[in-house]
Every structure is written in C-alpha cells, then in structure tokens.
Amino acid sequence: MTEAESSRSDRQRTRFAVGLTALALIGVSLGGRAAAGEAARSDLSATPSLAAVECLTYSQERGLFSQLGTAYEVLDDQFARSDAIVASEIVFGADSRLVFPRMEYSKRGPSHCADLYFVVADRLTSDEAAAATITWDRAFPADPPLDRGWAPAGAGGVAPGEDGSDGSPGGPGNAGRDGAHAPNLLVILGELTGPLSLDLRGQDGGTGGVGQSGGPGGAGASGRAAVPGLLDCRKGPGAGGDGGDGGLGGRGGRGGNGGLGGTVIVIAPEEQAATIDELLDVTVDGGAAGEGGAPGIGGTEGRAGREGRATPPCRSARRDGKTGQRGGDGVEGEDGDPGESGDYYLLPLPAEQFEEVLGAAFGRAAE
C-alpha cells in the first residue's frame, strides 16, 4: 500500500469510527458558529439526524420542493429551482454543475433549516471521464465600495500676497464587502457510480475601496499693485503668496473578510460508504481574504500667486510666489481575514436506519 493510500485509508477509518456520534458533533459545530454571531446559520441541534428529517418534512409540507419523478438530469451549468433535489436517480452529464442559489435567509420554519440544501437520491450517476459538481452561486455580482473622492481643498489666499492653505489629508477608503457564507448541504445517497465534487467554499472577500485623494492646495493670492508717483515709483509691486501643499492621499480601504465554508453532511448506507468516500471530492474552505484597496493619490499643488501689477515708472521685481508641493500618495489598505473552513461528515448508517432517513425524504414509509 502506498503512503497516499495508507493516508486515505486512515481517514476512512477515522470517519467510520465517528459513525453516528458525528451527528451530535454536527450540531455542536454549527451551533458554535451561530453563537459566534453568524446570522441565521444552521444549528442542527443535539439530535441532527432527527433535525435533518424535520427539515425535509417541513420543506415537503410547505411545498419548498416537489417530487421530481424517477430521474433528474443535470446538464452544463444548471441552477436548482428549489431547496432540495429529490429523485430516484440523478444523472450528471459531462462537465456539468448543479448550482444552488445564494441563500437569502428568508425561509420560514425551524431556524436550523434556514440555510440547508438537500440532495437526495437512491442513485447518482456521473461521467467517469468528466467533472460533475454540486455547488452554490458564490459568484453573484456585488457593488464595489463607493469612491470617497477628494478631501477638502485648502483655502486660497485672500489678502494681497497671502499664502494659500494646505489641502486636507485624504481619509481611508471604504472597506471591501465581506464574502457571503456558504450554505450547508445534506446529501442522502444510496449509491454513487462516478466521481463527484461537492464545492461549498465560502465567497471571497471584496477588494477594499481606493483611499480618498488628498485635497488640492489653495492658490496664493496676487501681490498688491505698485504705487507709481509722478516722476518715480512710490512703492513697488508686492510679492505673490505661495501656493499651499496638496494633502496626503488616504490609506486604501481594508479588504473584506472571506465567507465561512459550508458544512457538508453525506449520509449513506454502510455497505456503500467506502465507495462513496473514494468518489467524493469535498471542498469546504473559507473564502479568500479580500485585498486591501489602492492608495489615494496626493492632492495637487496650489498655484503660486503672481507678483502685483507694476505700473510705470514702477518695475517688476519678479517676486511671484512659490508653487506648493504635490501631496504624497497614501499607502495600500490591509487585507481582510480569510474565512474559516467548514466541516465534512460522512455518516454510514445501517440499512434499516438509512431507509428511515431516505423514506422521510421521499415521503414514504420505511420498508
């Protein structure tokens, strides 16, 4: 046995040893995330096997999904139109994806059913040579952070020869949008005949907004005009005021945090569990951290005030003011935090108990 096979075998034994006791751990895991402040996250309670059946039964009673007959075919990118796909057989075409919509947390009923999707089938078939995937729509469009524009400009000189004021420094950019949390997925599966990916990654955080641009420097005022006499210059022209410096650009906005990865629960009959585990590729990583926003640019330099007007016989002394300095650019914003990974549980059930769960999904009495 190779090292990779040995590692895989160890993981299988660990999952099988957890067995039904993992059902209780699911409730602890999801409940802890809800307690940490995640709005409307599922808590499958202390008896999640019963809670899962409760959610399925409730969804049936409310008409949130309907029986799909004997077969359900998935072609290309196919969006689910209900909270659950329930069929005797689910068939995936080559390179096809079943995509659940983003949860809006608007469903009524038990709180632990708020963000839980279902895939239930006696048999699921996929093309061995092409990828088949069940995932959620984490690529929905999101508005970027609003641009904060320019900081206030410096005041221009008013009195003759008065200097302009410096522009105000730019503030930080707006924070990027936090990634949406992945929903949770319960798969009740009697048999799997080909490879299948379950992708419940959290959504990536959004990029932070651009830092606010520094305010422009105020313009220097023109110098006072010369005062000519009859035969000579009584007072030469006054010097122009200096322009104000541009304000420093603001720091880029903080990137958004990645969304939480979902929890995937796969319930299968004991005799099929090892095969299903080999064929599944489960991803429950948290969303990537959003990048910090770009720095704001420095404010433009204030214009120099011109020397006052020289009327003959007065002459110019070439005393224009100095142009201000352009403000320095800000710095990039810091990245957000990556989202925490979710959990994956493979739960092998004895045949009789599996039929009870499957029967609840199909609205039939267990044989």
Tens digits of residue pLDDT in 351-361? 887 877 676 66
Please report whether residue 49 resides in a domain. Answer: yes
Is residue 211 one of the residues assigned to a domain? yes
Domain assignment of residue 367, yes or no: no
Q: What is the largest CA-CA distance in the chain?
A: 123
Least confident of 16-20, 91-95, 223-227, 363-367: 16-20
Per-residue tokens: 139: 């690529």
Q: What is the pLDDT of residue 43?
A: 42
| Dihedral sign of CA atoms 45, 185, 56, 106 in order | positive
- Average pLDDT, integer, range 191-218: 94
Question: Average pLDDT of 299-323?
Answer: 92
DSSP secondary-structure letter at 112? G
Percent of the chain clearing pLDDT 90 (strictly above): 48
Per-residue pLDDT reduced to its tens digit, 100-151: 987 654 444 455 566 778 888 889 998 777 779 999 998 866 677 888 999 9
**Residue 212 in this model has a pLDDT that exceeds 80:** yes
H helices within 169-307, ranges in order?
Answer: 270-279
Residue 14 has pLDDT above 80, yes or no: no
What is the tens place of the pLDDT at every residue in 140-194? 666 778 889 999 999 999 999 999 999 999 999 999 999 999 988 889 899 999 9
Query: In which domain, by residue range, is 7 found?
Result: 3-362
Q: Report, as an integer, the average pLDDT of 270-282.
A: 93
Q: How many domains does the chain have?
A: 1
Is 223 within 8 Å of 308 (Cβ atoms)? yes
Contact 223, 240 (CB under 8 A): yes
Burial of 17 (0-12, 13-18, 19+ CB in 10 A): exposed
CA atoms within 13 A on the CB side of 130: 12
| Residue 166 forms part of a structural domain | yes
